[in-house]
A and B are shown apart, each in its own frame.
Chain A
Amino acid sequence: MSFFTKFKKKRAKENLSATAGKPPLSCKQVGKDLQSFLDGETTEVSSDDLKAHLEACKDCGLEADVYRKIKDALGRQAEPVDEDSLHRLRDFGRKLADSDEPN
């Protein structure tokens, strides 16, 4: 059996085990990358593997829920932007863009 065939069989077995409730990643690996994953940032392990683990592992799934809720609650702390200020600043920017002298 070639190395490539062995690799494919191993990979298929891992995927199968994930769907059978035995995630291919360890909880420690998931814990390390969980917050970056929830932030949509680059993670060391693949996001598909992370998703599979979070679906299969109850503890990590709950952990992800808690961090999602915290992140959402933090997002709601943001004050609405003052529209008058924003209007003045955009106006300032456009006038600057239309001006002739860069200094």
Chain B
Amino acid sequence: MTTDDSPDSQALFEKYVVPETEVMFRVAMSITRNKADAEDLVQDTMLRAYRSIDRFDGRYPRAWLLTILRNAAINRVRRKRPELMRDPDLTMQRVANTDPDTADVEAVVIDRTFDADVERALHSLSDNFIEVIEMVDLNGLSYQEAADAIGVPVGTVMSRLHRARAKIRKHLASSEVAKGRT
């Protein structure tokens, strides 16, 4: 897919890049933890994609864009202070403040308790584990796409993800035991 014809480049950009805006923004949010920075990062990614669209072979546009996004993020971190600020307390507060639905209060309470336990378990993990969980389970990426976004081999994504969920499972089991004792 190599052409110097500008209108074709525009069509390719519209076809491959614009539909991936939401995925790029979700991943950018995971990386920057900040809406304004995430928007800047996606805009930067779009500009880079636009400049190199003529060299893109048309295969796996999401993987291509996530690789560009990762490189753009690395450059940004080099330019300014890292923005990887995680605040588990804020998200815990969000869960605690959710209003109950009226349909099945008991199920909602059980779900919410389970979700809060899972969230606690998630934030007890190291950043490498949280990162893959966010990419796959929260952002809905495939293993390959997550590998491209993080910049590690797909086997590493799979191994970290499976270990992370196993740790969450173990955490839940131990908290259940603790609750049973009280």
Interface residues, chain A, with chain B CB atoms under 8 Å away: 35-36, 39, 41, 66-67, 69-71, 73-79, 81-82, 85-86, 88-90, 92-94, 96-100, 102-103
Contact = CB atoms under 8 A, between A and B. Distances in A.
Interface of B: 6, 9-11, 13-14, 17-18, 21-22, 24-26, 29, 35, 38-39, 42-43, 46-47, 50-51, 53-54, 91, 111, 114-115, 118-119, 122, 133, 136-140, 142-143, 158, 161-162, 165, 168-169, 172
A98 B21 CA distance: 16
29 contacts: A36-B158, A36-B162, A39-B161, A41-B143, A67-B165, A70-B118, A70-B168, A70-B169, A71-B165, A73-B114, A73-B118, A74-B122, A75-B137, A76-B115, A79-B29, A81-B25, A82-B35, A85-B35, A89-B25, A92-B43, A93-B21, A96-B13, A97-B11, A97-B17, A100-B6, A102-B6, A102-B9, A102-B51, A103-B51
Q: Kindly name the residue among B11, B91, B137, B138 whose own CB sees the greatest number of chain A CB atoms within 10 A.
A: B137
B165 A92 contact: no
A74 B133 contact: yes
A97 B115 contact: no
Contacts of A96: 13, 46-47, 50
Nearest to B133: A74
Contacts of B38: 85
B50 A102 contact: yes
A86 B118 contact: no
B161 to A, nearest CB: 7
Given A75-B137, A76-B115, A102-B50, A93 B17 contact: yes
Contacts of B172: 70
A89 B42 CA distance: 7
Given A67-B169, A77-B118, A102-B51, A93 B18 contact: yes
B18 A94 contact: yes
Contacts of B25: 81, 85-86, 89
